[in-house]
Chains A and B, each alone.
Chain A
Amino acid sequence: MKSFVGMFAGPVVAAALASLPLAAGAADGDLVNPYAGREDVVEEGGSLLNQYCSHCHGPWAVQGERPRDLRRLNLRYGDYAMSTFYTTVQEGRPPKGMPPWKGILDDEIVWKIYTFLQTVQVED
Chain B
Amino acid sequence: MTMKRVSHVALTAIVGAVLATASSAGIAQKGQWLHYGGNDYSNNRFSDLTQINADNVHKLKVAWIHSLGTLESQESTPLVVGDTMYVTSSTGPRYVFALDARTGKTKWVHQPEMPNDFFATVCCGLDNRGVAYANGKVFFGRLDAKLVALDANTGRRLWTVTVENYRNGHAITSPPLVYKNLVVTGIAGGEYGIRGFVAAYDQDTGEQVWKTYTIPGPGEPGNETWRGDTWKTGAASTWGVGSYDPKLNTVYWATSNAGPWGGHERSIDSSDFYPYTNLWTASQLAFDADTGEIKWGYQYTPNDVWDYDGINEAVLHDLRIGGRTVPVLMHADRNGFFYVLNRQTGKLISADPFVTVNWATHVDLKTGRPVEAANNEKRPQLGKWARNVCPNLIGGKNWSPMSYNPNTGLVYLPAFNMCMDIANKEEEYTPGRFYLASEFDLSKAGATGEHLAMMMAWDPIKKKEVWSIKEPLMFASGAMSTAGNLLFYGNVEGTLKAVNARSGKVLWEFDVGTGILQSPITYTVGGKQYLAVVAGRVKGPPSFFGQIGQRVIDASPEGGVLVVFSL
Q: Which residues of A contact B (CB under 8 A)?
A: 47, 50-52, 54-60, 62-65, 68, 92-101, 104
Contacts of A59 in B (CB 8 A): 440-443, 544, 546
Q: List 6 A-B contacts (CB under 8 A).
A: A51-B425, A51-B436, A51-B438, A59-B443, A64-B543, A94-B117
Minimum C-beta distance from A20 to chain B (A): 16
- Which residues of A lie under 8 Å from residue B551 when comparing CB positions? 64
Q: How far is the CA of A104 from the CA of B547 in the complex (A)?
A: 29
**Contact partner of B123 among A55, A92, A101, CB < 8 A?**
A55
B545 partner residues in chain A, CB cutoff 8 A: 58, 63
9 additional contacts (CB under 8 A) given A63-B542, A65-B539: A58-B545, A62-B443, A63-B553, A94-B119, A97-B122, A98-B120, A99-B432, A99-B433, A104-B430
Residues of B514-567 whose CB lies within 8 A of A: 539-540, 542-547, 549-554
A59-B440, A59-B441 are contacts. A64–B552 as well, Cβ < 8 Å? Answer: yes
Interface of B is mostly: mixed
Closest to A54 in B: B544
Q: Would you call B543 and A99 a contact (CB within 8 A)?
A: no
List the count of A-B residue pairs having beta carbons below 8 Å apart.
Answer: 86
The yes or no answer to B465 lying at the interface (CB within 8 A) is no
B113-126 vs A, Cβ < 8 Å mask (1 yes, 0 no): 00011011111101
Please name all residues of chain A whose beta carbon is closer than 8 Å to the beta carbon of B427 when the two chains form the complex: 51
> Bound complex: CA of A57 vs CA of B540, how far in Å?
10
CB pair A63 B549 closer than 8 Å: yes
Cα distance, A50 to B261, chains bound together (Å): 14
Q: Choose one: B116, B425, B438, B547; the contact of A94 (CB below 8 Å).
A: B116
Whether A95 lies near B119 (C-beta < 8 A) is yes
Q: Which residues of B contact A47 (CB under 8 A)?
A: 439
Q: In the complex the two chains form, is A57's CB within 8 Å of B121's CB?
A: no
Alpha-carbon distance between A50 and B552 when the two chains are bound, in angstroms? 19
Given contacts A96-B119, A97-B122, contact A57 B543 (CB under 8 A): yes
With A63-B543, A95-B117, A99-B120 known as contacts, the answer to whether A52 contacts B440 (CB < 8 A) is: no
Pair A56/B438 contact, Cβ less than 8 Å? no
Interface assignment of B253: CB less than 8 Å from any CB of chain A: no
Q: Number of B residues whose C-beta is below 8 Å from A?
A: 37
B434: Cβ under 8 A from any A Cβ: yes
- Which residues of chain B are near A96, meaning CB under 8 Å? 119
Chain A residues positioned under 8 Å from B439 (CB to CB): 47, 50-51, 54
- A95 to B554 Cα, complex, angstroms: 24
- Contact (A56, B117) CB under 8 Å given A51-B427, A64-B551, A104-B430: no
Residues of A within 8 A of B552 (CB): 64
Q: Is the CB of A55 within 8 A of B547?
A: no
A118 to B119, CA, bound (A): 27
Hey, which chain B residues are within 8 Å of A97, CB to CB?
119-120, 122, 126
CB-CB contacts below 8 Å: B107-143 with A: 116-117, 119-124, 126
Closest to B428 in A: A104
Given A51-B427, A63-B550, A104-B433; A68-B543 close (CB under 8 Å): yes
Report Cα–Cα, A100/B430, bound state, in Å.
12
Q: Residue-by-residue, is B151-193 near A (CB-CB < 8 Å gives 1, otherwise 0)? A: 0000000000000000000000000000000000000000100
CB of A52, distance to nearest CB on chain B (Å): 7
Complex Cα spacing A58 to B540, Å: 10
Bound together, the chains give a CA A68 to CA B549 distance in angstroms of 13
A residues near B438, Cβ cutoff 8 Å: 51
**Chain B proximity of A23: nearest CB distance (Å):** 19
Q: Check if A58 sits within 8 Å of B549, measured CB to CB.
A: yes
> B residues 431-462 with Cβ under 8 Å of A?
432-434, 436, 438-443
Interface pair A63/B120, CB less than 8 Å apart: no
From B120, B191, B539, B540, residue with most partner A Cβ within 10 Å: B120
Q: How far is the CA of A64 from the CA of B235 in the complex (A)?
A: 29
Across the A-B interface, give the 8 residue pairs with the lowest CB-CB distance, nearest first.
A64-B553, A94-B117, A64-B550, A95-B116, A99-B120, A97-B119, A63-B543, A94-B120
Max count, chain B CB within 10 A of own CB: residue among A47, A57, A62: A62
Residue in A57, A62, A95, A98 whose beta carbon sits within 8 Å of that of B547 in the complex:
A62
Complex CA distance for A94 and B122, rounded to whole angstroms: 11
Q: Compute how far the CA of A103 lies from the CA of B438 in the bound complex, rounded to whole angstroms.
A: 21
For A94, the chain B residues whose CB sits under 8 A away are 116-117, 119-120
CB-based contact A92/B120 at 8 Å: yes
Q: Which of A58, A96, A100 has the most CB of B within 10 A?
A: A58
Residues of chain B with a CB closer than 8 A to A50's CB: 439-441
Complex Cα distance, B544 from A23, in Å, reads 31
Minimum Cβ distance to chain A for residue B47 (Å)? 35
CA of A64 to CA of B434 in the docked complex: distance in angstroms?
21
Q: How far is the CB of B70 from chain A (nearest CB, A)?
A: 14
Q: Across the interface, do A64 and B549 meet the contact criterion of CB distance under 8 Å?
A: yes
Q: Which residues on A sit within 8 Å (CB–CB) of B554?
A: 64
Chain B residues whose CB sits within 8 angstroms of the CB of A100 once the complex forms: 120
Residue of B116, B542, B543, B545 contacting most chain A CB atoms (<10 Å): B543
